[in-house]
Structure 1
Amino acid sequence: MTVENLGSWLLKANGMTSGIVGVAGRRESVRRWCVRPGYRARLMAAGQPVMLWVSGDRRRVGPGIWAVGELTGPPAMMDGKLRVPLEWRWLDDDQRVHRDTVRADEGLAALEVLRQPQAANPSFVTVGQMAALRFYLPD
């Protein structure tokens, strides 16, 4: 994994245990997100693409990509936690890329969020995977 192979960062939220469903429903602005310290956080920089993956059980929360945007700076300590500044726009329900769609696409079958759903933020989407995702994302 290198910056040259970065298609997008993928940040995750648990739609069952966090308030992210309500935040998305109200279209609230999100300006920062917690990330785990490490080499990935050190690779994060302003202008890089970012997406939000919300996990769920299908009955109450449709898992998949719910927001797209970009980082506005590198991670920094805020409130005692490492957080990355960002801007993203919420996708309408019919624009979200559902987990089943991702799983069914051969170009996305190896997406890290599918292989290691419990891994810490940030997750990584390769250039090739991002090209496949663009087919499903709105312009």
Structure 2
Amino acid sequence: MPRLHAADVGCWVVKTARPPDAVVPGWRPGEEREVARCLRPSYRLGLMRPGQPVLLWLSGRDRPGVHATGVLAGEVGSDGDGPVVVVRFTLLPAHVPRADLLADPAVRDAEVLRMPAGSNPSSLTPPQYAAVLAHLP
């Protein structure tokens, strides 16, 4: 896989195997919450900057797809076990299903769709991010 550069990143994608209400108990659609997400150590962490857009991706068989949109709320840090970033997410009123994105030629080749079990963070190119935004409820 080719190395990413800052201009290649339209947004970051952080994944979870737990539904949003398990990530943040009581989280309601439209509410903004700060969520700490663990990341895999890689050169990509050096490309992450506060204010960059981020999507929360639910992996697995139950409602896979984009469940929240947000921005990086700070620099990548550490929790003692590894890299962590805080994201200010807003829960969507309805998720954007993985199947809808697979059907969209502008985004179907996105890393998160080709390798859904890949590590955090993943990314979308600027055109892929624009395509996902067009699917938001």
Q: Partner residue of 1:81?
A: 82
- CA shift for structure 1 position 22: 2.8
Q: Partner residue of 1:70?
A: 71
- 2:46 & 2:59 partners in 1: Cα distance? 25
Greater share of residues in helix: 1
- 2:98 & 2:68 partners in 1: Cα distance? 14
Q: Would the alpha carbon gap of residues 108 and 35 (structure 1) be closer, same or farther in structure 2, given more than 3 Å must change?
A: same
**Structure 2-normalised TM-score?**
0.86
Structure 2 counterparts to residues 95-134 of structure 1, below 5 A: 96-134=95-133
- CA shift for structure 1 position 25: 6.5
**Which residues of structure 2 form unaligned runs of 5+?**
none
Per mean C-alpha deviation after superposition, the further-off stretch among 27-36 and 129-138 is: 27-36
Q: Partner residue of 1:50?
A: 54
Note the aligned Cα RMSD (angstroms). Answer: 1.8
- CA shift for structure 1 position 86: 1.4
Q: Residue 13 of structure 2 aligns to which amino acid in structure 1? A: L
TM-superposition CA deviations, 1:2-36 (whole Å, max 9, x none): 11121100000113xxx644345621734311011
Q: Partner residue of 2:136?
A: 137
- 2:71 & 2:65 partners in 1: Cα distance? 18
**Could you tell me the percent identity over the aligned residues?**
35
Structure 1 contact 24–90 (Cα < 8 Å) conserved = no
**Structure 1-normalised TM-score?**
0.85
- CA shift for structure 1 position 79: 3.6
